[in-house]
Amino acid sequence: MSMTAIVRTDDSKPLLGFWIYIMTDCVLFASLFATYAVLYQNTNGGPDGYQLFNLKSVLAETLVLLTSSFTCGLAMLAAHRGDRRQTILWFVITFLLGVTFLTLEATEFRHFVQMGDSWRRSGFLSAFFTLVGTHGLHITVGLSWMLIMLFEVIHKGLGRITIRRLTMLSMFWHFLDIIWIFIFTIVYLRGAIAP
């Protein structure tokens, strides 16, 4: 009976704790956005966003990340149904989309650095690389976590603790997509409007 009592305690508390962590991470990104907004005109004679950004590749990145957020939701639906194969399938798709996003971003960064427009070029580029790079770092952490969870689901199946961890991972992944909306709008679209 005492076992039942332990099992009965639902997951709302750990999930609330994780939600609070996500909210504090939003504050971290807000400070980076504020820094960017203050510095984006300080190009020090270097290129500005209008000269630098490639809108087509940015749209591709955005749609890939958005789709991965959607497939992550589908994976969670499968997990709650207890459908192990579908859960694995959708998380693998989410993972591959995440890797695609990261590859596109790394290609963009490498291109900028090769043209001499690295974070050392100007205040604008320092703020740009810090903001977008921090998001990319979060994506990398999310992808590593997803890989670990895939092994856990394959080896242990969909127990209560595993589902709780998957729920946290999916919250983290949706949160990263939400941060990207603002990077897409404030950094890329704002930068692509002719001065």
In angstroms, the CA 115 to CA 129 distance is 15
The least CB distance from residue 185 to other proteins, in Å, is 4
Closest CB to other proteins among residues 117, 177 = 177
- Structure-token match 């984006």, residue found: 40
Q: Which of 54, 55, 120, 144 binds other proteins (CB under 8 A)?
A: 55
- Compute the 3-state secondary structure of the chain and give helix, strand, coil in percent, each to the nearest 5: 85, 0, 15
Query: Could you give the string, one character per residue 74-113, with x where binding to other proteins holds by CB under 8 A and - elsewhere?
Result: x-xx--x---------------------------------
Q: What is the DSSP letter of 118?
A: S
Q: Which residue, among 181, 166, 3, has the nearest Cα to 90 in the 3D structure?
A: 166
Please give the structure tokens belonging to residue 182: 């603002």
Q: Which residue, among 57, 173, 40, 164, has the nearest Cα to 106 in the 3D structure?
A: 57
Q: Which residue, among 150, 136, 137, has the nearest Cα to 92 in the 3D structure?
A: 150
Please give the structure tokens belonging to residue 160: 């209560």
What is the size of the binding site for other proteins (CB under 8 A)?
51
Closest CB to other proteins among residues 61, 117 = 61
Q: Does 184 bind other proteins (CB under 8 A)?
A: yes
The least CB distance from residue 71 to other proteins, in Å, is 9
Closest CB to other proteins among residues 113, 190 = 190
Q: Which of 92, 104, 150, 192 binds other proteins (CB under 8 A)?
A: 192
Please give the structure tokens belonging to residue 53: 């950004």
Closest CB to other proteins among residues 39, 125 = 39
Q: Which residues contact 164 (CB under 8 A, 6 or more apart)?
A: 11, 14, 15
Interaction site with other proteins (CB under 8 A):
3-4, 7-8, 10-12, 15-16, 19-20, 23-24, 26-27, 30-31, 33-35, 37-38, 55, 59, 62-63, 66-67, 69-70, 73-74, 76-77, 80, 160, 171, 174-175, 177-178, 181-182, 184-186, 189-190, 192-194
